[in-house]
Structure 1
Amino acid sequence: MKTLVRWLCIALAAMIAHPAMADELRPAVIEMTQMDSSALSENEEGSSQGTLDHEWVLEWKLPVAANRSQSAAPTAQPVVPDVCEIVVQPVERAASLALLGRTEMRCSGDLAGEAFGLVGLIGNADGIARFVPLDGPVQSFRLTAAEPTATIRAEPNVMQVLRDYFIIGAEHILFGWDHLLFVIALVLLVRTPWSVVKAATAFTIAHSITLVATSLGYTGLPSRPVEALIALSIVFLAVEVAVVLRDPDRQTLTRRFPWLVAFGFGLFHGFGFAGALAEIGLPQGEIAAALFAFNIGVEAGQLLVIGALVAVLIAMTRWLPKLETPTIRLATYAIGGTGSFWLIERVVG
């Protein structure tokens, strides 16, 4: 048992210390949009070709990992329905950490039951497919390497929306490192189960408020100051953990009012969640279901992290008390260093 706990401690420290990009969840997106005649391309002679020739536009965004050159193009490629024919040569251009593509298609017959998507997604990479007809609700689908295409439905399926956005929300807290480090630092500082529950609940309520309000268009903040404040929240908690490690009896602000600090910073984290969700998009007609499922997914991922971390801390206290303080100190310096780097990068860079 001691060996197992020791390896869990090492894995925890390595995970936190690993240099990761903030908000790594940047899914590939492909969108198939029906166009009216006024929005279509012109032919080589300069006249409009009409809705029968250019009825649909297909656009896609393929993220490029931050540690790769922009010239290292992603391998994923768009898939078009069998009843559609590409009539405009696809055009791709580089953007910030992404490759953007666009083409136009002519489709015939009913598209219900047809498939489109992105083949070549690597590993655990996710994608979002959106189908946007002129006379019907938007349909959204989650794509994976194992299931790279989505089947267009005659009518949207609310259960599919709930499932997909729940998974997206859980993945965002598990792979969005800035939110994850905040939760980890909060647990390392608060420690007592009831205080952790209150703080986590306050954090969830706060980020849910700003996420929903921003997604519905009632409020919003520019992404750059929001991302800087999220990084600042990580540094703030890391400093408090370091202070408590030196003086275990010190009652810092978060130790006295964990729910208040978690709620305050949670509001800004909600703006960050909303920014990530804006990149993915919300299905028209199922916005409430998508927001609900995304929030529940975030909460599920958060509880998973908190439960795992509390279990490790309890195991260390019981079986490896001599490793507890050094491990927490290592994790704290890694969290604080990473948060400081992000803070400087987001303020200056």
Structure 2
Amino acid sequence: MIRWLLSALCTALWLCQPLAAHESRPAYLDIREFSASQYDVAWKRPMRGEYVIGFTIGWPEDCTPTRETESHVPGASVTRMRLDCGGSSLIGQQLSIERLPETSAEVLVRIEFLDGNTQTEILRPATATMSIEGPRGALAIATEYAILGFDHILAGIDHLLFVLCLTLMIGRGWKLVKTITAFTVAHSITLALSTFGVLRVSQAPVEAVIALSIVFLAREMLLLHQGTPGLTSRAPWLVAFVFGLLHGLGFAGALREIGLPSGDIPLALLAFNIGVEAGQLIFVIIIVALLAFTRRAFTKGFPDWVGQVPAYAIGTVAMFWTLERVLTA
């Protein structure tokens, strides 16, 4: 019963947040050099209804944006412009996102230089300014993409909710280790295949099916509570592996949006995956530790209906995501 209570608490905390899962991605600034000191810029900002979040870009002093055009995609406004830096390179200069410190949002900045090298960085309210460094070494690239992978999994509420369901159903021990390993291997496979162009699928149906995978686990949780264990209880590693393939395609969609450095794709992919796994592992350890703590703190039982609340709550949230993703595809 304790694991069901913990699940209800975690679900309630998520319900207090906007139910958008990966749709609440950060603003995205893409800068591509096409000739010396000339850049094409795409500036994607999230929308809340008809309101566009009012971030502005603080360009270096010598740089002037021109030819601005604005369009809309689901949930975001996209401004495209040409940036002329008057013969000066962006390398060695600073770029900032004004008004970012007034919010709790993030901005993903990606700069691609003429030689194909890239620099990617996430700007946050406390660090709203970045130094443009230009080409960097392998260690810097690996560190950057590991952090991006770590940030992505911790912001991916749908992926974490899937892992939470598995952890709560299985508990701890080698069975949990095997299940999480199967999930990890599966999404690593499809992430790599998609990144290298071997496997190409539309992102919208993938995101919808990811939400449905959580609906499936919510039903499995309910069956387990009612004393009629389903497929996940009997073969959790198989369910984790099959759905892990889908979740890997979801990770690949985010990685495509971030972009990969042309000369270091294998390194960046490996580092991104390591970051994802580190975030996932930390999450599982925290859940297992909370389970152990609550077993000691709560020794009395609860009414039987309490054990069904988490499954219904998780299933409702996941079904909302499914409908939202289908309707906005």
**TM-score bin, normalised by smaller chain:** 0.7 to 0.9
How many corresponding residue pairs?
321
Give the secondary-structure state (helix, strand or coil) at the position aligned to 2:255.
helix
1:203–1:259 Cα contact (<8 Å) kept: yes
Alignment of 1:189-228 (within 5 A): 189-228=169-208
Q: Are the structure 2 counterparts of residues 56 and 347 from structure 1 closer, same or farther at C-alpha, using a change threshold of 3 Å?
A: closer
User: Is 1:295 aligned to 2:294, yes or no?
Assistant: no
Alignment of 1:167-206 (within 5 A): 167-206=147-186
**Max radius of gyration: which structure?**
1
202-211 vs 170-179, which moves further: 170-179
Structure 1 residue 255 displacement after superposition = 1.6
Find 2:293's aligned residue among 296, 307, 315. Answer: 315
Give the secondary-structure state (helix, strand or coil) at the position aligned to 2:21.
coil
TM-score (norm 1): 0.83
Alignment of 1:40-119 (within 5 A): 55-64=38-47, 68-70=48-50, 72-86=51-65, 88-107=66-85, 108-119=87-98
Structure 1 residue 238 displacement after superposition = 0.8
Identity across matched positions, percent: 40
Show the counterpart of 1:145.
125
User: Is 1:12 aligned to 2:24, yes or no?
Assistant: no
Distance in 1, matches of 2:307 and 2:147, equals: 30
TM-score (norm 2): 0.87
Deviations 1:51-87 (A, max 9, x none): 88xx2222211122xxx222x121211222233233x
Alignment of 1:255-294 (within 5 A): 255-294=233-272
Give the secondary-structure state (helix, strand or coil) at the position aligned to 2:49.
coil
Q: Which amino acid aligns with 1:316?
A: T
Distance in 2, matches of 1:348 and 1:27, equals: 22
Distance in 2, matches of 1:344 and 1:219, equals: 25
1:184–1:306 Cα contact (<8 Å) kept: yes
Structure 1 residue 8 displacement after superposition = 7.2
RMSD of aligned Cα (Å): 2.6
Give the secondary-structure state (helix, strand or coil) at the position aligned to 1:35.
strand
238-247 vs 221-230, which moves further: 221-230
Structure 1 residue 14 displacement after superposition = 1.8
Show the counterpart of 2:26.
27
Find 1:306's aligned residue among 281, 284, 287. Answer: 284
Find 1:253's aligned residue among 231, 236, 241. Answer: 231
Q: Are the structure 2 counterparts of residues 176 and 246 from structure 1 closer, same or farther at C-alpha, using a change threshold of 3 Å?
A: same
Q: Are the structure 2 counterparts of residues 157 and 235 from structure 1 closer, same or farther at C-alpha, using a change threshold of 3 Å?
A: same
Q: Are the structure 2 counterparts of residues 135 and 163 from structure 1 closer, same or farther at C-alpha, using a change threshold of 3 Å?
A: closer
Distance in 1, matches of 2:130 and 2:276, equals: 24
Give the secondary-structure state (helix, strand or coil) at the position aligned to 2:22.
coil
1:119–1:145 Cα contact (<8 Å) kept: no
Distance in 2, matches of 1:246 and 1:204, equals: 29
Q: Which amino acid aligns with 1:79?
A: G
1:125–1:145 Cα contact (<8 Å) kept: yes
Distance in 2, matches of 1:344 and 1:90, equals: 34
2:116–2:263 Cα contact (<8 Å) kept: no
Distance in 1, matches of 2:156 and 2:72, equals: 23
Structure 1 residue 315 displacement after superposition = 2.4
Structure 1 residue 165 displacement after superposition = 2.3
2:8–2:309 Cα contact (<8 Å) kept: no
Deviations 1:223-252 (A, max 9, x none): 2221222122111111111111111xx442
Distance in 2, matches of 1:32 and 1:261, equals: 41
Give the secondary-structure state (helix, strand or coil) at the position aligned to 1:83.
coil
Give the secondary-structure state (helix, strand or coil) at the position aligned to 1:292.
helix
Q: Are the structure 2 counterparts of residues 192 and 8 from structure 1 closer, same or farther at C-alpha, using a change threshold of 3 Å?
A: closer
- Runs of 5+ in structure 2 lacking a partner? none
238-247 vs 110-119, which moves further: 110-119
